[in-house]
Structure 1
């Protein structure tokens, strides 16, 4: 007789792990207990025949429940205490080792089959779940993952559910904390826009009928409210855009399943696997020419953001509509976080929607839908939230200290770091909104509390930009807790984070291409090449950069034609020649252009080596009237235009030396585009520019890293996912025997900043 005390970390709470252990141990006739512990880990004590003890350890790894992920199994031999039988003990709030907080999981096929089975007691039940699927993080008040620590605590299990819960042979429901049924679970109700209750026997069918009639309905999901409407009716989509004050930003489309989505977009088997995975993200896929989706859903774009119904509620709603797919967009006012409670819905969504489909389960943690796209044949995260957050990311380095990071201001995500783990918050959004700032602090404090991070001893990592809200929040947090603070340069956080995510070592070069980041010289950066040694965190050399574009105000990013006036003014153009070439017909636009021209001539501007602003500027050459109504819109529209074009390399670039930097001067390309825009198709022009800028970034890297011992190239920043920029970069670096590496586990846009901040701050000695 021997005894083992085992601690298992990873994604092991909320996935049926304890019932699995209970079944395996009973089959092997071992004795002891299993319990959840306060760090989201699972503790097991087993005693019995030594042969069976080792068989049990093997079963942990090879027979675990489908959603479970094991990071580490720590076991020690103990003195047997004489247990008779095996028990699932009440969870302990004590923390032995840290483990993963379980993310929300899409409904599994077993639960969906039950919902659709007329003979099953959960027939048409919109909240069906089991140990393998359903809400987790969105309804958790804290660890350990027990019913009393979730918003399911107010629903008392009926006799039948209790029988399932206590039945060791019920694989999916034995000790499954979130289970319920129509007798004991959450309830649905339908309300009009004044939140007056509508008496109906079937709120889902009634809501589906209302949507089919052209009404707009707010739907309370698992991580927040969605807004649902027809995706095939131009008038309905236009009405939604007008009410939401969202003129062109694309809406996501939810389909009943992938067989429905195949009518809208082109997909292959890999795409289908991602869409049908437990994470069920939104995936950007090429539109079918014969798609019935209104062109107003994603105007001027080549790809549609699609996802499948990932809860029984969504599935039943879509099943009862005529199209079997709907717009399913975030339930928020533009610029604000998504609503997660009825008070927010009543106050903020009543001017947008006609009806509310509401359930009475509280949403504890707001969680937006995750988004993925393909670049260069690889899948890249654009938003890491539902299904992913707050699962930790294990890194190949050991942090020297605990870190709390506040990220950037756009597409904000915060994070914490400890040991060899980085835990990122769910997607927060842009921090212009006060509510988003509150969300960031709350999300960080949730992670700090549940992972036992010491706020007083941790270091607080912030961006260097003096005007960032995230920086201010981080500084306030450090003062409140008496913690140290460290500033991390924006683009260095981008590229170093990707290098760690990719597990690189030695000397690495990183290309950071985005819209804005505060440079070490107090100018705006956004097209930079860094060289750094992975063994010397915090030390980097900026070896190359794109040539400056003058910025006169934030309005330049909203109306990109202003950028062109400023740029050409800096290059010595006469103002009348710019007027003639651009051919603007709006007197107000011409007046603005002249204002910018004169400001630049007087030296009243901020120099910006920004790839984002360069792309915006070229977009304004091809379409002088283009404006930005959402972040990155000109660049996204230019890429969409390029998908119908044939790229060719535009020549006439220079690589002047500017002090210690090699510069990429693209004035020759800009002049070429101005000359050829009337003779080339806009799609060919867009494809050629984007491919060329990527290609010449590759040449810039090659020119600036000679003799530096670089063996790997990483690329990050919002512009790095542009298909044509990436292709050009890849093609040029291939001749050097190098390949540009995008991140695997983090978004390359500013959502990845917190990851880089955590790693750098945690490694600096």
Structure 2
């Protein structure tokens, strides 16, 4: 008789943190246990997922090893803490109901939970997955054309959560009782909809209504979507309730509809987004790389900035200059602007001035309904609000604020609990860059590679492209894009987001961080909240924060050369910085070099009227008033958004003389070293944009002109515009004065060359050569600094580096010389990511025993 060996049971307890809520992680753990014949349990907690495996030691260890290698596709694991625990003798594996322990109280057999433990596993809203798309399009499936189709791999998350852990009763779906079929799917661990909290069907989910602007019901259910689709096809504007708020949409091929949309929105020039029915529709208009296609189809479903297909649009003549007959015309009046070279078949005014088209694919069943049947193939879309206001997300606001704009409002009765705008992304140097964090990325935490210990900090960002950052442990949670804080509703929204983070995450920050600018709304709000909570306020200089944001994302400690180029940032000396080379660590930024100061006549007015910066840059070069007037008096230069070419002996001549006198007298003319303002000046000198209707428009149009010229010449950032022996715009475009500290960078030779050579060569070529000159001076200064013993780690940040043409010249150029080059990828490179740098710098300052401003 053989004796059977007794297999001893072994038990491990796991704490798994990261993006593990709402990603099918519990059923995944259940299936792992079943495959290995293990008993135990798994549950959601505020900090992640806790599981116990019990069984033979080898089987337990094999199951644990597979967690990282076979995790669900949407899950992101930050850490797995493993501890051996006593064997409980459990007979089966179960998924237990989620519990949210009170302070100082843990699960029955688990550790105590501290008050300031940050639950970092909050799932973002996800675009419709391939399996749900297939079911949506299958007439035999019970969820055929279901507007709210979802599963564990897709659907709303963050925008419907009331409290953590993420369970149905704590979401906006809690009021919808599941039908018996959905309930069986929800409770079946082998089903794709197991514990998919938004799960529903035609019989038990939210319902659609199409409303008039007075709130009267026009149609319900699928008929509401069909009616809305017919309105869009007929050239009407429809407001659509999405995942994180309302959009305004119209047929992208209908020029009149697009213009009406712009008129109501108050957006004369700023690009609109394009939602295309599928990837083949995108390829009709745009060039799409493999990485861009993957990004468009990713679960985040962001807006992706794409280059239009090259096409001769007849805007420029053979020399690349604008024909005299076209000068002074407003873009969108039947002629496509310089830089936009494709999009035939779409309304001219979808994108103006920009070298890119912002494109996204449908990310809900409701969107797919609008494209079905005889619906349009492409929609022009924008958030449903007046320009500068927060996006509408409540049904009440939709009725009260959408007057005279759309023809109808397509609503549903699932409540949106948080306003979350679409994310905006682009690709550059074979990397994905997030320009605006919103749906699909928020509230995923950024796991920092350094500085993981220290105070919990809430940072308030800047007044432009405002977003907040909550830093706890080694994780930084960047909030959704809030917008510009000039509008009081945006300021209220920022406060609401802060309190929402405190409540949802049970967080109690030890400090507040903000910008150094004394006039920022964000500075005032942060100061008030710090006072109310009795915690310190740490002010961090704008460009210091830009560089630290990229350092934090890339896990850098120690010192780096920071190149911070943007439009506006309050400097230590009270002037407006923006063309900076800095020696940076977490606690300090030392100015090494900067662009030469020039006055900004009219202050903020100089941002809206780039001809003012052109005037002052030319004056600083030694141009006489007569020469400045002559340079700015060409017909192309005098065009403005109103479309009227001004008489040089009329109001323009008067305006620039008054501005010059004010600058010379030092009246409302702050000094600036901004690289963004230099881009504006060049754009104005070339007659591309002299007056703007939105931030960055002149620089964007300048890049568009350069890109368009390069496209016609089949050039790229890595293919110089000149061959060996040919000169650029000038022998030495910038003069670097190294006699003092910091060094001064003078663009006088460059500016003189732009004026002189604009008479000889196409302005698109001059725009391209200007980008080359800027990239060359960045590389040259970094090399000079390295020769002086400064670090060879270079960080590029600030809104100017959103310019893909410039970045793709600078980034590889530095790398070819042996520099280690870093930048922002997950945190926006513009002011939308500055709160991350503020939070990390503030923590470092507190740790070092330093307070106040940095």
CA distance in 2, matches of 1:321, 1:477: 53
Between the two proteins, the alignment pairs up a number of residues equal to 758
In structure 1, stretches of 5+ residues that fail to align are none
CA distance in 2, matches of 1:373, 1:33: 42
CA distance in 2, matches of 1:342, 1:483: 37
CA distance in 1, matches of 2:820, 2:807: 10
Q: Residue 780 of structure 2 aligns with which residue?
A: 699
TM-superposed CA distance for 1:73, in Å, is 1.1
User: Do 1:234 and 1:294's aligned partners in 2 also have CA atoms closer than 8 Å?
Assistant: yes
TM-superposed CA distance for 1:732, in Å, is 5.3
Distance 1:33 1:559, change over 3 A: same
User: Do 1:4 and 1:45's aligned partners in 2 also have CA atoms closer than 8 Å?
Assistant: yes
Match among 156, 159, 173 for residue 138 of structure 1: 159
Q: Residue 511 of structure 1 aligns with which residue?
A: 563
TM-superposed CA distance for 1:443, in Å, is 1.7
Q: Residue 191 of structure 1 aligns with which residue?
A: 211
Secondary structure of 2:174 counterpart: coil
Q: Residue 427 of structure 1 aligns with which residue?
A: 481
User: Do 1:7 and 1:73's aligned partners in 2 also have CA atoms closer than 8 Å?
Assistant: yes
The answer as to 2:652 corresponding to 1:593 is no
The answer as to 2:592 corresponding to 1:543 is yes
TM-superposed CA distance for 1:571, in Å, is 4.4
The answer as to 2:399 corresponding to 1:379 is no
The answer as to 2:573 corresponding to 1:531 is no
Secondary structure of 2:673 counterpart: strand
Q: Residue 130 of structure 2 aligns with which residue?
A: 109
CA distance in 1, matches of 2:426, 2:739: 37
* Aligned CA-pair RMSD: 1.8
Q: Which moved more, 1:558-567 or 1:125-134?
A: 558-567
Match among 346, 363, 367 for residue 416 of structure 2: 363
User: Do 1:283 and 1:306's aligned partners in 2 also have CA atoms closer than 8 Å?
Assistant: yes
User: Do 1:531 and 1:705's aligned partners in 2 also have CA atoms closer than 8 Å?
Assistant: no
TM-superposed CA distance for 1:293, in Å, is 1.6
TM-superposed CA distance for 1:705, in Å, is 4.2
CA distance in 2, matches of 1:317, 1:735: 49
Q: Residue 581 of structure 1 aligns with which residue?
A: 631
Secondary structure of 1:162 counterpart: helix
CA distance in 1, matches of 2:26, 2:429: 41
Secondary structure of 1:509 counterpart: strand
Match among 437, 442, 459 for residue 511 of structure 2: 459
In structure 2, stretches of 5+ residues that fail to align are 1-8, 107-112, 312-341, 639-645, 711-720, 723-727, 849-854
The answer as to 2:825 corresponding to 1:744 is yes
User: Do 2:631 and 2:685's aligned partners in 1 also have CA atoms closer than 8 Å?
Assistant: no
CA distance in 2, matches of 1:479, 1:218: 41
Q: Residue 93 of structure 1 aligns with which residue?
A: 100
Q: Residue 446 of structure 2 aligns with which residue?
A: 393
CA distance in 1, matches of 2:548, 2:739: 24
CA distance in 1, matches of 2:570, 2:184: 60
Q: Which moved more, 1:686-695 or 1:17-26?
A: 17-26
Distance 1:709 1:578, change over 3 A: closer
CA deviations on 1:327-386 (whole Å, 9 max, x unpaired) are 121111100111111112122222321111111111111111111123344332111111
Match among 487, 496, 502 for residue 539 of structure 2: 487
User: Do 2:46 and 2:121's aligned partners in 1 also have CA atoms closer than 8 Å?
Assistant: no
The answer as to 2:612 corresponding to 1:562 is yes
Q: Residue 650 of structure 1 aligns with which residue?
A: 729
CA distance in 2, matches of 1:519, 1:276: 42
Q: Residue 756 of structure 1 aligns with which residue?
A: 837
User: Do 1:382 and 1:747's aligned partners in 2 also have CA atoms closer than 8 Å?
Assistant: yes
Secondary structure of 2:708 counterpart: coil
Q: Residue 202 of structure 2 aligns with which residue?
A: 182
TM-superposed CA distance for 1:168, in Å, is 2.2
Secondary structure of 2:560 counterpart: strand
The answer as to 2:41 corresponding to 1:71 is no
Q: Residue 475 of structure 1 aligns with which residue?
A: 527
Secondary structure of 2:787 counterpart: coil
Secondary structure of 2:552 counterpart: helix
CA distance in 2, matches of 1:285, 1:665: 34
TM-superposed CA distance for 1:91, in Å, is 1.0
The answer as to 2:653 corresponding to 1:603 is no
User: Do 2:530 and 2:536's aligned partners in 1 also have CA atoms closer than 8 Å?
Assistant: yes
Secondary structure of 1:296 counterpart: helix
CA distance in 2, matches of 1:549, 1:706: 29
Q: Residue 806 of structure 2 aligns with which residue?
A: 725
TM-superposed CA distance for 1:322, in Å, is 4.2
Distance 1:729 1:25, change over 3 A: closer
The answer as to 2:488 corresponding to 1:445 is no
The answer as to 2:11 corresponding to 1:3 is yes
User: Do 1:285 and 1:373's aligned partners in 2 also have CA atoms closer than 8 Å?
Assistant: yes
CA distance in 2, matches of 1:311, 1:360: 15
Q: Residue 19 of structure 1 aligns with which residue?
A: 27
- Report the TM-score when normalising by structure 2: 0.86
Secondary structure of 2:144 counterpart: coil
User: Do 1:582 and 1:624's aligned partners in 2 also have CA atoms closer than 8 Å?
Assistant: no
The answer as to 2:697 corresponding to 1:633 is yes
User: Do 1:524 and 1:606's aligned partners in 2 also have CA atoms closer than 8 Å?
Assistant: yes
Distance 1:110 1:415, change over 3 A: same
Q: Residue 622 of structure 1 aligns with which residue?
A: 686
The answer as to 2:404 corresponding to 1:404 is no
Q: Residue 677 of structure 2 aligns with which residue?
A: 613
TM-superposed CA distance for 1:86, in Å, is 2.4
The answer as to 2:158 corresponding to 1:167 is no
CA distance in 2, matches of 1:391, 1:351: 37
Q: Residue 328 of structure 2 aligns with which residue?
A: none
CA distance in 2, matches of 1:30, 1:741: 46
CA deviations on 1:572-627 (whole Å, 9 max, x unpaired) are 54323322221153422222211110012113321100011111111111117632
CA deviations on 1:136-169 (whole Å, 9 max, x unpaired) are 0011112110111110011001111111111222
CA distance in 2, matches of 1:359, 1:53: 46
Distance 1:127 1:645, change over 3 A: same
CA distance in 2, matches of 1:361, 1:464: 41
TM-superposed CA distance for 1:672, in Å, is 1.2
Q: Residue 326 of structure 1 aligns with which residue?
A: 379
